[in-house]
Amino acid sequence: MQEFEFDGVEISQDTPLISNLDIKENIALIKEVHEKKERQSAEKEAVMMLDKLGMKHISNLRKNSCSGFEILCAMVARAFMCKENSIVVKMPFGIDNSLNDIDRLFEKIYKLNGIIEKKVTVFDLDSNRYRYERAECNILK
């Protein structure tokens, strides 16, 4: 089996949101730590990204109050805040068990790609291949 090596940012069940921070704080944390950006400015940027995703209402909520899809989108927004140009989403259906249509996620990724351009790769099991066949993406094996 061909192995893919990525230096990018990981979005998976192994990289959950921090539960004692609200959604905007989770997203802003990256800029505060890596770019030493002031909290207010980083949080403003985080809220702007959530607004772009149509999820401004979850800015002040903690992950326990959000749906699986909202958490997944917040994780994507957080990854877009990183300096790395490539993002790897590992098994999105495992992160959000209620996700039926992968296009819902791709639609959000395209929206964020309109602000910051990143190369996004989704890793999934071959048994989930059928879920991607109608989506607008290249499938590699």
- Residue 36, sorted as left (phi over 0), alpha (psi -120 to 50) or beta, turns out to be left
- In the complex, what is the shortest distance from the CB of residue 32 to other proteins, in angstroms, rounded to a whole number? 4
Residue 20 contacts other proteins per CB under 8 A: yes
- In the complex, what is the shortest distance from the CB of residue 98 to other proteins, in angstroms, rounded to a whole number? 20
CB atoms within 10 A of CB 17: 20
CB 28 within 8 A of CB 39: yes
Contacting range for other proteins; rule: CB under 8 A; set: 15-23, 45-53, 93-101, 103-111: 15-23
CB 102 within 8 A of CB 131: yes
- Strand 9-11, strand 86-90: pairing: parallel
Residue 103 contacts other proteins per CB under 8 A: no
Give residues 46-75 in contact with other proteins (rule: CB under 8 A): none
Residue 14 contacts other proteins per CB under 8 A: yes
Provide the binding-site residues for other proteins, judged by CB under 8 A: 9-10, 13-20, 29-30, 32-34, 36-39, 42, 78, 82
